[in-house]
Amino acid sequence: MIASLRGKVAQKRQDSLIVEMNGVGYKVICPVSVLESAKVGEKIFLNTYTHVREDVLALYGFLTADDLALFELLISVSGVGPKAAVNILSAASSDKIRSSIQKQDPGILYSVSGIGKKTAEKIVVELKNKLGATSELFSLSSETEDLHQALSDLGFKPNEINAAISNLPEDLETTEEKLKFALKEMRK
C-alpha cells in the first residue's frame, strides 16, 4: 500500500490533487485544508491512506499523521466511508473534531454532508474513548514530526517508525540523537 507521497502538485481539482512523482500522476482525494494549502507547481508531502475495494482503488491524502489517524478512526465506524470521513475533516480542524467527540457533542458532525443525526451520535459513542489515547499517540511535536519524516525518507514503514519513536528515551534532546537511537533500534 502507498503510505505517503512526496511530489509536485500538477493539478488541483474540486476534491483532489494530482501529485506527480517520477513522471507518474497520482490522484489523491483530500480534505479542504489540504486543497487550500496546496499550490500547483510546488512540492508537497502527504500521508496517505490507500482504499481498496473490488471496484475502487483510491488514495486519500493528509498533511499530518494526526489527520490520517483521525481519518482511519472515523472510517472504522460502521456506516462512515472514506468520502464521509473526508467531509468531516473538511468541516473543521481535526482538533475541533476530536474535542467535540471527547466532549460527546456531535454538533459539528451534524453539519457535515452525508452524516445524519444517528451516524453522528454513533461516531461519538464509538470514538469517545479511543480518541483520548489516539490524540496523545499521534500529536507529534515539530521535532518528532521531523524525526518521523527523516525515517520515512529513509524508507521505513509508518508502523516501524511509530514503534521506534515510542521507544525513545526521554533523555535524548536533539533530533540527531533521536534519529541515531531510532536507527539503531530499527536495525535490531
**Predicted confidence (pLDDT) per residue in 3-59, tens digit:** 999 999 999 999 999 999 999 999 999 999 999 999 999 999 999 999 998 999 999
Full-model pTM: 0.68
Report the alpha-carbon distance of residue 13 to residue 107 in Å, rounded.
29
* The domain boundary residue, chosen from 47, 62, 77: 62
- Residue 37 sits in a domain whose CATH number is 2.40.50.140
Mean pLDDT of the chain: 85
Residues 80, 104 share a domain: yes
- Residue 108 sits in a domain whose CATH number is 1.10.150.20
Residues 12, 58 share a domain: yes
Residues 127, 69 share a domain: yes
> Would the pLDDT of 139 be above 70?
no
> Residue 63 is placed in which grid cell?
498533511
CB 68 within 8 A of CB 24: no
Owning domain of residue 175:
142-187
Q: Environment class of residue 169 by beta-carbon count within 10 Å: exposed (0-12), middle (13-18) or buried (19+)?
A: exposed
Q: How many domains does the chain have?
A: 3
* The domain boundary residue, chosen from 62, 91, 110: 62
- Residue 170 sits in a domain whose CATH number is 1.10.8
Residues 26, 74 share a domain: no
CB 49 within 8 A of CB 60: yes
Rounded percentage of the chain residues whose pLDDT exceeds 90: 47
> Residue 92 is placed in which grid cell?
473543521
Residues 55, 29 share a domain: yes
